[in-house]
Amino acid sequence: MTDLVLPDLARDRLVLPGDPRYAALRSTYTTRHSPALVLLPHDAREVATALEHARSTGLAISVRSGGHGLSGRSSNDGGVVIDLSRLNEVTVLDRASRLVRVGAGARWAEVAGALAPVGLAISAGDHGNVGVGGLATGGGVGWLVRSYGLTVDHVRAVDVVLADGSLVRADADHEPDLYWAMRGGGQGMAVALAFEIEAVELGHVGVAQVVVEADRGGAMLSRWSEVMAAAPRSWSTAMFLAPHGRSFAAQVTAVVADADEAELLGLGQAFQDVGQVLAQQLSMVPYPALVPAAHLHVNLGQQPSHTTNGLFGRLDARASRSLMDVVAHPAQPLLQLRSLGGAVNDVAPDATAYAHRHQEVLATVTTFPPSGRRHLDAAWSEAADLADGAYTNFESEPGPRAHDRAFPGGTGRRLRDLRARFDPECVLGGDPV
Ligand SMILES: Cc1cc2nc3c(=O)[nH]c(=O)nc-3n(C[C@H](O)[C@H](O)[C@H](O)COP(=O)(O)OP(=O)(O)OC[C@H]3O[C@@H](n4cnc5c(N)ncnc54)[C@H](O)[C@@H]3O)c2cc1C
C-alpha cells in the first residue's frame, strides 16, 4: 500500500509498482528505472491534471513519449512519470495542404503507416519505435533529411501544457517564442501534446544497401563526403563503420526520395566513386518499409549504452582520419555517419532552436557495456575537438557542456531565458538555467 497521494484521474490512468502494467512502463529503451507512479493521461486536460499533481508531490517528474531518449530522462527512480503513449492520434487535417496532426505519444512507425495510404509521409528518423514527442521537440534527422529537412522544419503548430498546468497553442502567430523553442529545444521547456506538421507527398523510395571498404586513414570518408556534397538533394545516406577482417567496412543505407529506377541505379553507381563496393542491393519500397511496425516494442532498458555526437562540415583529411581513429579505438565504439545539408541548410540558423544550418555530416558514437562513458569520451575526444556543434537528441549525458554544443551562442541564451519564463522552478527537468 502506498502513502503517495494519487491524482484525480480514473484508476486505469494510474500505474503503481505491483500493477501488471508496471513492468512495461517503468523503464526506457536504454535505462532501467523504478518510478513511484506512472500516469497515463488520455487527453490534454488529463495531462494538465497529471502535471499539477506531479508538481504537488515534490517528486522528480519525467515526461515520456516513446521512451527512446538516450539519456533515460523519460523515467526516474522514486518519482512520477507522465507517459503520453495514449495521446497517439494521427489525423490528416487537410489533405490539400498536407496538414497532419500527430499526438506526441505516437511512434513514427504508426505515423508512417497511417499516412502512406493517403500518399503522405513525414521524415522523422530511422527507427519506427522512436516517439513523436522526443524526436519532434529536438530535431528529427530522418531517411529523407536532405530532401525534406528536419522534422521540426515542418512543424506548423504545437499544443503544449506549460509547467504551471496551462494549455497553450504555439504557432507563428501565438506564443512565437515558445513556437521557436519547441522546434529543437522543446525538451524541458513544456510538455508537447500534439504537433501540426506539413507532410510531403511521397511515393516509393529507392533504397541502396551498400557495403564499402573503408581505409584506416579515412580517404573513403572524405570521398563519401565529396560525393554527397555534389549529390542531388533527393539523396540521403547513413553508414555504420566497423572493423572488417584486417580492414574496415561501411554499411551504408542510401535513400532516394520519390525515386524512379534510373535514379536508384545512379545512386548505386555513385558508390563506385566512394570506395571498393563489397556488396550492393537496390530496391524500391514504400516509405513505411524504412520505419516498419516490426520496429515497435516495449522498452525494458534492454539496450544499455552511452552515446554522444558531433556535427561536421565537409570531411577533410584530418576529420576523416579522426573519425576512423574512433572506429579503431579499443573500446570498439559504434560510429554512425549521416549526410546532412540539402533542405536542412535552407533554413536560417535563428528560425528554430535547431541552429546548425551549415554542417554537412552528423557523426554519432555509441559504446556498449562493458565499455562505459569514460571509454566513450576517450574514444571521441579528438573528433570532438574538430566538431562544429552537436545534435541534442543523440546525447546520453545532458548537462551544461552538452547544452552549449547543441545550442551555441545566442540560441542557448534565448533557450535559457525562455526556460526561466515558461518553467521557472525547473519542474520539467530542463538543464539548469
Ligand atoms: C534506436 C534509436 C534510433 C534513433 N534514430 C534517430 C533518428 O534516426 N533520427 C533522430 O533524429 N533521432 C533518432 N534517435 C534519437 C531520438 O530522436 C531521441 O532519442 C528522442 O528524444 C526520442 O524520442 P522519444 O519520444 O522516443 O523519447 P523519450 O525517451 O520519451 O523522451 C526523450 C526526451 O524528450 C523529452 N520528451 C519526450 N516527450 C516529450 C514531450 N511530449 N514534450 C516535451 N518533452 C518530451 C523527455 O522528457 C526526454 O527528456 C534515435 C534513438 C534511438 C534509441
CA atoms within 13 A on the CB side of 291: 26
CATH code for the domain of 102: 3.30.465.10
Q: Using alpha carbons, list the distances in angstroms from residue 395 to 98, 279, 352.
A: 32, 32, 19
**How crowded is residue 384: how many other Cβ atoms within 10 Å of its Cβ?**
18
* Distance (Å) from CA 80 to ligand 1 centroid: 19
Question: Do 105 and 187 reside in the same domain of the chain?
Answer: yes
User: What single-letter amino acid sits at 273?
Assistant: D
Q: Residue 255: inside a domain, yes or no?
A: no
Distance 283 CA to ligand 1 centre (A): 29
* Strands 80-83, 37-39: pairing kind: parallel
Report phi then psi at 18, rounded to 5.
Answer: 100, -25
The pocket around ligand 1, CB under 6 angstroms, is made up of 28-29, 62-70, 73-74, 84, 104, 125-127, 130-131, 133-135, 137-142, 186-187, 191-192, 393-394
pLDDT computed for residue 244 by the predictor? 84
Question: What angle, 0 to 180 degrees and rounded to 10, lies between the N-to-C axes of helices 373-386 and 317-328?
Answer: 170
> Domain for residue 425, yes or no?
no
CA-based angle 386:233:201, to the nearest 5? 130
The DSSP bridge partners found for residue 242 are 249
Residue 351 placed within a domain: no
Arithmetic mean of pLDDT, 240-253: 92
Q: Are 114 and 166 found together in one domain? A: yes
Residue 51 inside a domain? The answer is yes
Question: Are 173 and 181 contacting, i.e. CB atoms less than 8 angstroms apart?
Answer: no
Q: Which residue's CA lies nearest to atom 1 of ligand 1?
A: 127
Whether 113 and 130 share a structural domain: yes
Considering the domain boundaries, does residue 66 fall inside one?
Answer: yes
- Residue 17 located in a structural domain: yes
Within a domain: 179: yes
| Residue owning grid cell 524512379 | 260
Please tell me whether residues 61 and 138 are part of one structural domain: no
Amino acid 243: pLDDT: 87
Residues 44 and 128 in one domain: no
32-41, 70-79, 167-176, 264-273: least confidently modelled range? 264-273
Q: Cα separation of 201 and 258, whole Å? A: 9
Count structural domains, the chain: 2
Residues 96 and 192 in one domain: yes
Candidates 25, 33, 38, 63: which one to mutate for ligand 1, based on the most atoms within 8 Å of Cβ? 63
Q: Are 179 and 351 in contact (CB under 8 A)?
A: no
Same structural domain, 185 and 129 = yes
How many angstroms does the Cα of residue 133 sit away from the middle of ligand 1? Answer: 7
d(CA 345, CA 250): 26
Give the CATH number of the domain where residue 31 resides: 3.30.43.10
- Do 53 and 152 fall within a single domain? no
Quickly count helices (H) and strands (E) in the chain: 11, 18
Of the residues 83, 113, 139, the one at which a domain ends? 83
Same-domain status, 157 and 64: no
**In the prediction, which pLDDT does 113 show?**
97
SS (H, E, C) 150-180: CHHHHEEEEEEECCCCCEEEEECCCCHHHHH
Residue 20 pLDDT > 70: yes
Q: What is the mean pLDDT of the chain?
A: 95
Q: What is the pLDDT of residues 185-222, one digit of tens each?
A: 999 999 999 999 999 999 899 999 999 999 999 999 99
Identify the pLDDT of residue 260. 86
Confidence of residue 3 (pLDDT cuts 50, 70, 90): confident
**Which residue among 43, 64, 83 closes a domain?**
83
Q: What percent of the chain has pLDDT over 70?
A: 99
Q: What are 125-153's pLDDT values in tens digits?
A: 999 999 999 999 999 999 999 999 999 99
- Ligand 1 centroid distance, CA of 135 (Å): 4
Specify the pLDDT at position 2: 57
**From the CB of residue 261, how many other CB atoms can be counted at a distance below 10 Å?**
10
Q: pLDDT class for 120, splitting at 50, 70, 90?
A: very high
Domain boundary, last residue among 54, 83, 112: 83
Note whether 99 and 195 are same-domain residues. Answer: yes
> Mean per-residue pLDDT for 386-413?
97
Length of the chain: 433
Q: Which domain holds residue 45?
A: 11-83
Q: Give every CB contact of residue 213 below 8 A, 6+ residues apart in sequence.
A: 220, 244, 247, 248, 249, 250, 275, 276, 278
pLDDT at 252 over 70: yes
Q: Residue 302 domain-assigned?
A: no
Whether residue 61 sits in one domain with residue 31: yes
Give the sign of the dihedral formed by CA 253, CA 259, CA 265, CA 271: negative
